[in-house]
Amino acid sequence: MKPSPYFADRLRYFFKRFYSPEKLYRWFLDVAGDDSGEFNFPAALQGNPKTVVFLSRDIDKSTAFVKGMPDSFFKNALLCSPDTMQVLVSAKRANAIYYTELECRYGEPAFEELQYKIKDFGPQVCIYLGEVFWPTLYLAKKSGANCRIGFTEEHCFPFLNVCLKPNKMSEAALISQYYGAK
């Protein structure tokens, strides 16, 4: 059995690294805590609220989103990004926090720092572009944002509580229309 990549290499997490997918889901959900407060979708997105965006590890997907969003969106956004995308994010002059593969594991000091920075930012909305990766989904739920939006990953509820499925438009175009950003 292959250990999960979700935990720091410490003795206290050793057995958790061998949990089944269902048990991993339940464990991260229990640790993430209570559900969020109420929100009104899409009204929660009006007025360019404070937004944390978890970029995907897929460079093409993240590039399409960042380039597709208007500059005004980034004035009130914090991007949580793999360190390989620093050039892309800095081109938009967006606020960002970066992490490496090893740092984005539950129990790592850098992971705790990520969590602190995201909560300190105080987002009202969370946009999750990434694939299913329990530590970043945990961070999305712990961000404090009532409205947490994902794309085509319905089984991530309640980590994400809104699932949008862009048919012919990109994720950026879909989000931009709700934000009313130009």
Domain boundaries, the chain: 50-179
Residue 37 has pLDDT above 90, yes or no: no
Residue 47 has pLDDT above 90, yes or no: no
Question: What pLDDT does 1 receive?
Answer: 66
Q: Give pLDDT tens digits for 67-124.
A: 999 888 999 999 999 998 888 888 888 899 999 888 899 999 999 999 999 999 999 9
Q: Could you tell me where the DSSP H helices lie in the chain?
A: 21-32, 59-68, 86-91, 109-121, 134-142, 171-179
Other C-beta atoms closer than 10 Å to the C-beta of 103 total 17
Query: What residues does 162 pair with on adjacent strands?
Result: 149
Largest CA distance in the chain: 50
Q: Give pLDDT tens digits for 112-147.
A: 999 999 999 999 999 999 888 999 999 999 998 999
Residue 181 has pLDDT above 60, yes or no: no
d(CA 39, CA 96): 25
**Six token digits for residue 173:** 């175009």
Q: Give pLDDT tens digits for 142-159.
A: 998 999 998 866 677 788
The highest-level CATH class for domain 50-179 is alpha beta
Question: What pLDDT does 165 receive?
Answer: 82
Residue 21 has pLDDT above 90, yes or no: no
